[in-house]
Amino acid sequence: MIDPDTRDLLIATPEAILEDRDLMNALIGANERQMGSNIVDLRGIAMERLEGRLDRLEDTHRTVIAAAYENLAGTNQVHRAIMQMLDPLTFEDFLKTVASEVAATLRVDCVRLVLESVQDDHDPALRRLGEVLYVGEPGFVSAYISGGRNVPLRPVVLRQVLPQSDALYGDKAGYVRSEALLKLDFGTGRLPGMLVLGAEDPHQFKSTHGTDLLAFFAGVFERTMRRWLS
pLDDT at 166 over 70: yes
Which is more confident, 164 or 146?
A: 146
Q: How much is the pLDDT for 163?
A: 82
Q: How much is the pLDDT for 35?
A: 63
209 touches 186 (CB < 8 A) = no
Q: How many residues does the chain have?
A: 230
Would residue 202 count as lying in a domain? yes
For residue 104, what are the domain limits?
88-229
Would residue 36 count as lying in a domain? no
Nearest CA to 192 out of 122, 113, 81, 129 is that of 113
**Cα–Cα distance between 210 and 70 in angstroms, integer?**
12
Q: How much is the pLDDT for 194?
A: 94
Would residue 103 count as lying in a domain? yes
Mean pLDDT confidence for 150-158: 88
Which is more confident, 174 or 177?
A: 177
Would residue 81 count as lying in a domain? no
Tell me the DSSP string of 72-117: HHHHHHHHHHHHHHH--SSHHHHHHHIIIIIHHHHT-SEEEEEEE-
Q: How much is the pLDDT for 32?
A: 65
pTM, whole model, 2 decimals?
0.68
Helix spans in the chain (H): 4-12, 15-18, 21-35, 42-86, 91-97, 103-106, 124-127, 140-146, 212-229
Contacts of 106 (CB under 8 A, 6+ apart): 77, 78, 81, 197
Q: How much is the pLDDT for 147?
A: 82
First CA to last CA distance, the chain: 89
**Cα–Cα distance between 85 and 192 in angstroms, integer?**
20
Q: How much is the pLDDT for 34?
A: 67
Q: How much is the pLDDT for 157?
A: 93
**Cα–Cα distance between 224 and 195 in angstroms, integer?**
13
Would residue 97 count as lying in a domain? yes
**Cα–Cα distance between 230 and 228 in angstroms, integer?**
5
Which pLDDT tens digit goes with each residue over 46-99?
777 777 787 788 877 777 776 666 677 778 889 999 999 999 888 889 999 999
Q: Output the domain CATH number for residue 193.
A: 3.30.450.40
Mean pLDDT confidence for 22-48: 67
**Cα–Cα distance between 76 and 216 in angstroms, integer?**
13
Q: How much is the pLDDT for 126?
A: 56
86 touches 79 (CB < 8 A) = no
Would residue 111 count as lying in a domain? yes
Would residue 22 count as lying in a domain? no
Which is more confident, 75 or 43?
A: 75
Give the pLDDT band of residue 215 (cuts 50, 70, 90). very high
User: Which amino acid is it at 154?
Assistant: R
What total of structural domains would you count in the chain? 1
Among the ranges given (13-22, 35-44, 177-186), the one the predictor scored with the smallest mean pLDDT? 35-44
Summary mean pLDDT of the chain: 82
pLDDT at 128 over 80: no
Q: How much is the pLDDT for 221?
A: 93
DSSP state of 144: H
Q: How much is the pLDDT for 101?
A: 93
Nearest CA to 214 out of 65, 134, 108 is that of 108
Mean pLDDT confidence for 157-161: 92
- Nearest-Å Rg of the Cα atoms of the chain is 29
Would residue 163 count as lying in a domain? yes
